[in-house]
Structure 1
Amino acid sequence: MSFSWRPVARFLGPLAAIAVIYLVLQAGIDSVLGVALWRGALIRDLGLTLALAAPALLLARSRVWFVGLAAVLLLALHGGNALKIRILGGPIMPDDLYALRSLVLILDNQRLALAAVFVGILGLVGARALTFRGRRARAGLVALCLVALPVVASPKATVGALDDLLGNIVWDQRTNYESRGPLLHMAQETARHLAHLSPPPRWEAVRTAQAFLHSNVVSAHSSEPAFQAQAPSRPVVMVVLESFWDPSVLKNAGLSRDPLDERFRALWEAAGHSQALVPVFGGYTANSEFEALCGFPIAEDTVFFETRLHNKVPCLPRLLSEAGYAATASHPNIPVFWNRVNAYDRVGFNAYRSRDDFVLDDMHGDYLSDASLYRQVLDTLRPMRESGTPTFTYILTLFGHLDFPLNDATPRVVRAAGGDELVERYANTVYEKSRAFMAFLEEVYARDPETLVVAFGDHLPYLGPDFQAYQASGVLAADRAEFDDRMFRDLVATPLLIIDGSRGPLPVGALPLYQVPGLVLSLLGLDASAPLALTRPPDGVALRPLPGLHVALDSDGTVHVCRPPVLSETCLAEQAWLDKVDTLSRDLFLGQQHVLQIRGQ
C-alpha cells in the first residue's frame, strides 16, 4: 500500500501560502512604515502564526478562502500595530479596545468608509472561509481554546513567565513589540491587563496610603509659592486648548514668523513660560481633562473616562458647585465621545453643552472655530452673570485636530521654509487659536476683571511618523528608547496660563497638570481638604508619572527620569509616593471611597 502525499499537501499548502504572505507583509511594512520585527522575533512570531493556523485549518470550509482570511487578519494585526507605532510611538494595547468607539467617531467620512469596507471584507471572507459544524471543526476550536487558556485562566503566572522569557520595558512599548512580535505582544499584554484587574483597595490599605500622603502635605505647602487667596465667588474659566503647543522651537522647520499671537506671547512671557506637564502625547485628551478636573495623576495607558471613572467624585466642578457655583462644560463635539456624558456628570458639572447645543456657523473642516465657540459660550453666561450666580466655565476646544484644516476666511500668516506642509498648517492653526483666545480673554476681563482664568494645551500634536518634525529639530528622538531625560519632559510639556484676575499671570513653572485643581481652590480661598489636596508632591519636586516611568523636576528645574529596572533611592522614594496616590485613586474613582470616610472622621 503506497503512501499518499495528497492529504499532507492539502494541509501544508495553505500553511506555506500563509508563510509567504507573512514574509511579504513584513517586508512591505518595514519598507513603507519603517517598523520591523527583530530577526528572532520574526522567526518566533511566524512559527506561532503557523502553529495557530494549523488547528484553525480544521475549521476551514475552503482552503483558498481560509488563506484569504489569514491575509486579512495578518494585515489588520501587523499593519494596525505599525500604524499606531508610527503615529503615537507605541503598538496596540488591550485598553485600546475601550477607546475603539471613540476612535471610530473621529474618523472622517472617507476613513470611516474605508474602515466599513475592511470590516465588510473581513466578515465576507470569514463567512466563506470557516465552518463551525462537524467533529473536525469542534476539534479545531478546542485546540485554539487550549492555546488561549493560560492567558485567561492564569494571567499572573502567564505574564510572569513571559516577562522572564522576553522581558518588559513598560515605558518603551515599541521595543517590546519589535522584540516580541505581535502575537506574543498581544498575549503578554492581555495577560498583564487581566492580572491587573484586581479588586479595589481595602480599608486598611487606603488608611495607610492616606496617612502617608497626609504627612507630606505640610512640606508640600512649605515649598509652594505663596499666592494670596481672593473672594471665592469670582468667576472661574478653564480652557483646554486642543493640541496647543509652541512650534517655534522647531528650528529646522524655518517658520517665517512667531506662530503665537503677539499678545499671547507677551502674556505667556509674563507668566515665566509656565508649562503644564500632561499625561499624554498626540491624543487621548480626556486624560488631560481628568487630571485638570480631579487632581489625580494618570500613569496608565488607558482612557480614564472610559475605564476607571465609575463613581461620583469630589472633583473641582463638584467642589465649586457645592460652594454655590454653576459649573458648566462646553465642547462642540459628539456628546458621548470619550464617555463624556457620564464622566462630566460624575465629576460634578451641572450642565454639559455639546455639538447640538451650538450653531455650527464657522467651521474649519468638521471643527467649530474657537472664536465661534467662545462667543456662544459667553452668550450663555449672561443670564447667570445678571443673576449674580458665580460661574465655573469649562471649555474644551475642538478646532486643532489633525489634519489641522483651516477655512478659506482664515489667513495663512506662517510659512515653513523647510517644506513641511503639516508643520505649516499646524503653525497657522496655533496662530489662529492663540489669536482667538486673546480676543476671548479681553472680553472675559471686560466683564469681570477678577476672573480666575486657567488655560493649557492638552497634549503635543502629532507632526509626522516617528516624531518626524520634532526629530528634525532635535526636540525628540525617533524612538522613545533613545530619549534622554529632557526629551521625556518635553514630550509632555504644553503652555500653561493661570491668570489671577487683576493680579495677572502667575509664574508657576513646570506644573504637573493634576496639581491645577488644588491651586485653583487655594486661589479662591476655598477649603482644599478634598482628597485632591493629598496629591501635592513633597519637597518641591514636580512628579509627572507616565506608563512605566516618571519624570521628576526639582525646584531648580533639574530633570531626572526614573525608569526601571535600575532605580536610585530618590526614585524609589518618589515611586512609593506615587504608589500611595494610586491606591487612593483606585479607591476614590472605582472602589468603595473609603478615603472620603477616613477624611470625614
Structure 2
Amino acid sequence: MPMLHQPRAFLLDRLLWPAIIVATQYFALQALAVHLFGVELDRAVPAVDLGLHILLAVALRGLVRSQLALALLLLPLMLLMHLGNAFKIAVLGAPILPDDLAALPALLRILDGGWLWLAVALGLGTLAALAFTLRFERRPMAGALALLALPALLLVLAPGHVASLMDGYFGHSVWNQPGNYRERGPLAYWLQEGARHLARQEGPPDAETVYAAHRLLAPDPLLPASASGGEARATPTADGRPGRNVHMIVLESFWDPSQLKGVRWSQDPFARDFRRLWKSAGNSRALAPVFGGYTANSEFEALCGLPVVHDEVIFETRLRNPVPCLPATLRAAGYATMASHPNVPAFWNRHNAYPRMGFDLFLAQSDFVLDDMNDEYLGDASLYRQVLERLDPLLESGVPVFNYVLTFFGHLDYPLNENRPPVISAPDADERLLAYANTVHYKTRELMDFLKQLRARDPQALIVVFGDHLPFLGPNYAAYADAGLLAPERGEFTDTMFVDMVATPLLVFDGGPRPLALGDLPLYQLPGRIVAALGLSAETPFALTATPPGLAIRPLPGLHVVRDADGNTVACRGDEDTAPEHAELCQGTAAWLAQVGTIKADLLFGHQYVLSAPRDDDPRI
C-alpha cells in the first residue's frame, strides 16, 4: 500500500504543488503590474509563458527543502520578471533587456524611496532564500540541475536556433519591444531576447570590412593624427588666440512642457528671456537617442559623433578603446578638455568613459561644494558658479578650452529646495507635472544667468546647449498621451511621434549674439558641426557620419526615422511594417546605418583600422 501512494505523493510534491505555487504568484503579480503600472499582457492566460514558469518551478523544487521554501525562492525572481519589466516599460518605454545587466549598478542608483528598498529587498531576499531553502541531497539536486542545465546549454550552444524557433511561434517586432513583452509574457520574452542577444554577439570587424565601409562613407582616408597626434590645428581667433573656446552644456531632463496642449499653465514654464532666445533660433531641437533616461547615450552621441542604435548604455558595454571623440580631437589641436558633473564619478561608468573620449579633467561630486542641494541634486546656479571659478584661470591663460558641463538638477522626481518655491500652477496638472514645470522654470532662469556671464567672459566662444532627453511624466507616457503628443503604447506611435519622443531644445551660438536656426538635428551630428565651425584642419571620424544630403536620420532601438528637407517624416520599422512607397528610402538609409555601425564597432572595441584607412591604390586593398 505505501508503494501505491509513493508515486502519487511524488507527483503531488514535485509537480502539482510547484504548478500551484507558480500560478498563484504569476496571476497575482500580473494583477499588480496592471494596477501599479498599467502594463497588461495581451493574453489572459499566456500558456507557453506559464508553462515555462512551471517547468522552472519543477526544476527548482529539486533544490529546496519544501513547498514553502520553493515559494520563497521563486518570489524574488517572479517580482523581478513581472514587476521589474512592467516598471521599466512604464518609465523608460522598454522591458528589461540583456544589456541592462551591464547597467544594473547605475539603474539601481536611479531608484529612490520605496522602489530602491524593493530592489534591495529583492537582492537580499534572493540570497536569503538560497541560504535557507537549498538542500544538498545528491539525487534530487542532480535531477534539478540537469533540468536547469538543458535549456542553458541550448541557449549557449545554439542561441540562433532558439531565437529562430521562438520567433516562428511568437513572431518578433524589432521596433516594438513592449509589444513583444505583452505578447509573450516575461519568461518567454527573456528567453527569446536572451537567445537573440547571445546569437548577435560578435567580435570586432576585420580590416577588409572596415575599409569597405570607409570607402562607401567617405572616399578620402582619415589622418591618424586626428586621434592622437599633434598635427591638428584650429583656426586662430581674431585676437590671435590659438582657437576659439567651446562650451557644451547638457541639461538634465530638459523639455518644453508648454507643448502639453490642454494644460492651463498660470504662466509660461520657461523663463521669458529663454523663450525669446529659443524662438529666435526657430525653436531648434536636438534629437536624442533615448526617452526618459540613459543620459549617457545622449552624451556619447554629442561627444563622439556616432549614433546609438541598440537599447544599451555605450559607456557600460561598448566603449573600450581610447576613441577620437570631440574631446580627443580638440585636445590634439591644443585644447584643455574639462568635464563637470556633480554626481558620483562611477555613475554610467563615466570615470572610465570620459578619459577614453579625451577629457583631461573630470570634476565629479567630490570636487564641488554641495551648497545648493535639491534632495541629492546640486542646483544649476551653484554648479555654473563653481564651473566659472574653475574656468576663469583657463580663459585668462590663453589656452583654448573645451568646457563640458552636465547638469544634475532636474532629475526625477524633480525636487526643489526652499530657495526655489513653486511659481507655476495648473488646475489640470498632477503633482509630478507641476514639480517638473517649476523645475524647468528655474533651470531656464539659471541657464540664462550663466549664459550672460559666460558670453561676457568669452564673446567669441562656440556655445552648445541641449536637453539630454524628455522627462518621465507618468507611466506609459501619461502626460504626453493625455495631451495627444504621444500614444500610450509604442506600437500605436505615428511616424512623427518617434521624433517628438526624443526632441529637446537646442541652442548653438557660433560667436554671434543669436543662436543658429538648425531645425531638428540628431545629436550625433553635433561634433562634426563643431569641428567645422572651429575650422580644424584635421580629418576626423565625424565626417563618416555626415548624413546623406537633405536627410536627417534618427536611429532608435529597432527602427530609424528619416526626415527630408521638406519636413516629411518616415519611420522605417522593417520591411513588413514599412509602406511600399518608402521601401527604397528605408533600405538605403538602413544600409548607410549598417556601414556606420561597422565604423563604430571598429573605433569603440575593435582594432581601429579606420584611423589609417588606405587609399584606393593602397596594396592593403
552-561 or 30-39: which moved more?
30-39
Counterparts of 1:135 and 1:6, CA distance in 2: 17
Counterparts of 2:462 and 2:140, CA distance in 1: 70
Counterpart pick for 1:476 among 486, 500, 516: 486
1:535 aligns with 2:539: no
Aligned twin of 1:289: 299
Check 1:399–1:181 CA distance in 2 against 1; reply closer, same or farther (3 A cut): same
How far off is 1:94 after superposition? 0.4
1:104-156 CA deviation, whole Å, 9 max, x = no partner? 22334664444323322222222222224412201210121012211111112
Contact 2:93 2:291 in 1 (8 A): no
1:151 aligns with 2:155: yes
Structure 2 SS opposite 1:569? helix
How far off is 1:56 after superposition? 1.9
How far off is 1:528 after superposition? 5.4
Counterpart pick for 1:6 among 9, 16, 29: 9
Amino acid of the residue matched to residue 170 of structure 2? Answer: L
How far off is 1:62 after superposition? 2.1
Counterparts of 2:173 and 2:446, CA distance in 1: 42
1:427 aligns with 2:427: no
Amino acid of the residue matched to residue 206 of structure 1? Answer: V
Aligned twin of 2:452: 442
Contact 2:351 2:362 in 1 (8 A): yes
Structure 2 SS opposite 1:408? coil
Counterparts of 1:107 and 1:25, CA distance in 2: 20
Structure 2 SS opposite 1:252? coil
How far off is 1:40 after superposition? 7.2
Structure 1 SS opposite 2:553? strand
Contact 1:40 1:179 in 2 (8 A): no
Amino acid of the residue matched to residue 574 of structure 1? Answer: T
Amino acid of the residue matched to residue 109 of structure 2? Answer: L
201-210 or 97-106: which moved more?
97-106
Counterpart pick for 2:600 among 562, 569, 585: 585
Counterparts of 1:15 and 1:163, CA distance in 2: 26
Counterparts of 1:264 and 1:452, CA distance in 2: 18
Amino acid of the residue matched to residue 266 of structure 1? Answer: R
208-217 or 518-527: which moved more?
208-217
Structure 2 SS opposite 1:3? helix
1:506-525 equivalences under 5 Å are 506-525=516-535
Contact 2:341 2:407 in 1 (8 A): yes
Counterpart pick for 1:369 among 379, 401, 411: 379
Counterparts of 1:280 and 1:237, CA distance in 2: 23
Aligned twin of 1:322: 332
Aligned twin of 1:251: 261
Counterparts of 1:30 and 1:361, CA distance in 2: 41
How far off is 1:182 after superposition? 1.0
How far off is 1:319 after superposition? 0.8
1:178-210 CA deviation, whole Å, 9 max, x = no partner? 111111110111111111111111111111111
Counterparts of 1:529 and 1:40, CA distance in 2: 57
1:181 aligns with 2:182: no
Check 1:230–1:511 CA distance in 2 against 1; reply closer, same or farther (3 A cut): farther
1:233-252 equivalences under 5 Å are 233-252=243-262
1:356 aligns with 2:366: yes
1:63 aligns with 2:103: no
Amino acid of the residue matched to residue 171 of structure 1? Answer: W
Contact 1:41 1:178 in 2 (8 A): no
385-394 or 121-130: which moved more?
121-130
407-416 or 8-17: which moved more?
8-17
Contact 2:155 2:195 in 1 (8 A): yes
Contact 1:216 1:537 in 2 (8 A): no
1:1-42 CA deviation, whole Å, 9 max, x = no partner? 572133332232342232223222223322333222222762
Amino acid of the residue matched to residue 457 of structure 1? Answer: G
* Aligned-pair Cα RMSD in Å: 1.9
Aligned twin of 1:460: 470
Aligned twin of 1:220: none
1:86 aligns with 2:90: yes
Counterpart pick for 2:415 among 393, 405, 415: 405
How far off is 1:333 after superposition? 0.3
Give 5+ residue unaligned stretches, structure 1. 218-228
How far off is 1:557 after superposition? 1.3
Structure 2 SS opposite 1:37? coil
Contact 1:485 1:560 in 2 (8 A): yes
Aligned twin of 2:428: 418
Structure 2 SS opposite 1:404? coil
TM-score by length of 2: 0.92
Counterparts of 1:245 and 1:214, CA distance in 2: 35
Counterparts of 1:80 and 1:518, CA distance in 2: 39
1:202-222 CA deviation, whole Å, 9 max, x = no partner? 1111111111111599xxxxx
Structure 1 SS opposite 2:165? helix
Contact 1:301 1:547 in 2 (8 A): yes
Check 1:249–1:598 CA distance in 2 against 1; reply closer, same or farther (3 A cut): same
1:70-110 CA deviation, whole Å, 9 max, x = no partner? 23321221111111111112111001101101122233466
Structure 1 SS opposite 2:506? strand
Amino acid of the residue matched to residue 442 of structure 1? Answer: K
Counterparts of 1:40 and 1:202, CA distance in 2: 48
Aligned twin of 2:230: none
Aligned twin of 1:264: 274
Counterpart pick for 2:202 among 177, 186, 198: 198
Counterparts of 2:370 and 2:34, CA distance in 1: 42
Structure 1 SS opposite 2:512? helix
Amino acid of the residue matched to residue 351 of structure 1? Answer: L
Aligned twin of 2:231: none
Contact 2:18 2:54 in 1 (8 A): no
1:279-316 CA deviation, whole Å, 9 max, x = no partner? 00000000000000000000110000010101101111
1:119 aligns with 2:123: yes
Counterparts of 1:132 and 1:90, CA distance in 2: 39
1:332-343 equivalences under 5 Å are 332-343=342-353
Counterparts of 2:220 and 2:262, CA distance in 1: 44
Amino acid of the residue matched to residue 305 of structure 1? Answer: F
Counterparts of 1:157 and 1:41, CA distance in 2: 26
Counterparts of 1:523 and 1:584, CA distance in 2: 24
TM-score by length of 1: 0.95
Contact 2:211 2:614 in 1 (8 A): no
Counterpart pick for 2:613 among 575, 598, 601: 598
Check 1:387–1:238 CA distance in 2 against 1; reply closer, same or farther (3 A cut): same
Give 5+ residue unaligned stretches, structure 2. 222-234
Question: How many residues are aligned here?
Answer: 591
1:363-394 CA deviation, whole Å, 9 max, x = no partner? 11110000000000000112212221111100
Counterparts of 1:441 and 1:55, CA distance in 2: 62
Amino acid of the residue matched to residue 16 of structure 1? Answer: I
Structure 2 SS opposite 1:401? coil
Contact 1:41 1:181 in 2 (8 A): no
1:550-565 equivalences under 5 Å are 550-565=560-575
Counterpart pick for 2:141 among 137, 140, 159: 137
How far off is 1:173 after superposition? 0.6
417-426 or 354-363: which moved more?
417-426
Counterparts of 2:570 and 2:285, CA distance in 1: 17
Contact 1:253 1:423 in 2 (8 A): no
1:569 aligns with 2:584: yes
Counterparts of 1:467 and 1:235, CA distance in 2: 39
Structure 1 SS opposite 2:174? coil
Amino acid of the residue matched to residue 213 of structure 2? Answer: A
Counterpart pick for 1:169 among 173, 179, 196: 173
Structure 2 SS opposite 1:481? helix
Amino acid of the residue matched to residue 580 of structure 1? Answer: Q
